[in-house]
Amino acid sequence: MKKALVKTDFLFPGQKSVYHGKVRDVYNINDDVLVMIATDRISAFDVILPEGIPYKGQILNQIASKFLDQTTDICPNWKLTSPDPMVTVGICCKGFPIEMIVRGYLCGSAWRAYKNGIRELCGIKLPEGMRENQRFPEPIVTPTTKAEIGEHDEDISKEEILARGLATPEEYAILEKYTLGLFKRGTEIAEKRGLILVDTKYEFGKRDGKIILMDEIHTPDSSRYFYKEGFEKRFENGEPQKQLSKEFVREWLMANGFQGKAGQQVPEMTPAIVESISDRYIELFEHITGESFNKENTDNLLSRIEKNVLAYLNNKK
């Protein structure tokens, strides 16, 4: 079994702090640049699962890096370079404490809420009679708060965001414009690959008064994809859609009695389960990029990452 990177503890020159997120470890260098390492950790229901997934960090980082490069005409982003297959270095921004979620279809948590009778999502009224995986007339933006580790993200409306001062009206207008523009581009790219970009999330920050796209974009951790071929037939028949996203991990957990609730135990992640999740991530990479995935050597991940990041930081001086 290939090795998975689940923890980092580097001390880079000029390092002021490090933030260990659910998946990424972010190193602050002199409040100027961020070194973001995409680990092989995997989370679901806001819980970090006990086993890492080989190649997951490389896949997430390389997909996000490609999409950041392909969307600079829509909005500025934080990326400066990717010195290692699992690392992106970018400018340090002050993040908005919200995640901008955009949905093109009624599925996932939105469908689960709808099925339970809820007809308003983040201040947006939903029509009666919708079915699972049905397309919205236009994509809808359904923000959430950005939770700390161990806490759950919570839905929040535009009105609540403004009332709590999480963004000004002018800032929110830009956030929404960027969100819908990025989703449109992601949808177009996915369609060329025979996929449907169903929903996704974006995070933004500010640097020198300018709003900037941060973190990942259009990865299987932040997005849900359906296969375009056979979508309509499966929808008409009320059948589950064939999808490429992390939803299959959530479904496996739910089928084994885990939804992140108090007292529930994560089911055993056997080597076969871990390998199958890794294979699904590779499948998405190859579908969404149209390229073959190159499995980097996993024997000395920590030393490789440290060497590549130090080479960049030293050359930057």
Predicted confidence (pLDDT) per residue in 218-274, tens digit: 988 889 999 999 999 999 999 999 887 777 888 899 999 999 898 999 999 999 999
Q: What is the mean pLDDT of the chain?
A: 93
Residue range(s) occupied by CATH 3.30.200.20 in the chain: 15-94+268-316
Angstrom distance (rounded) from CA 17 to CA 102? 31
Q: Give the mean pLDDT of 104-125.
A: 94
Give the phi and the psi of residue 69 in degrees, each rounded to 5.
Answer: -65, -30
Give the model's pLDDT for residue 151.
Answer: 56
By CB atoms closer than 10 A (0-12, 13-18, 19+), residue 88 is buried
Question: Check: CATH 3.30.200.20 for 15-94+268-316?
Answer: yes
Q: Which amino acid is at 272?
A: A
Give the model's pLDDT for residue 147.
Answer: 66
Residue range(s) occupied by CATH 3.30.470.20 in the chain: 95-245
Instruction: Specify the DSSP class assigned to residue 268.
Output: P
Architecture of domain 95-245: 2-Layer Sandwich (3.30)
> Each residue of 95-114: pLDDT tens digit?
999 999 999 999 988 999 99
> Each residue of 203-216: pLDDT tens digit?
999 999 999 999 99
Give whole-number Cα distances, 94 to 80, 151, 206, 209, in Å. Answer: 16, 21, 5, 10
Q: Give the mean pLDDT of 161-165.
A: 97
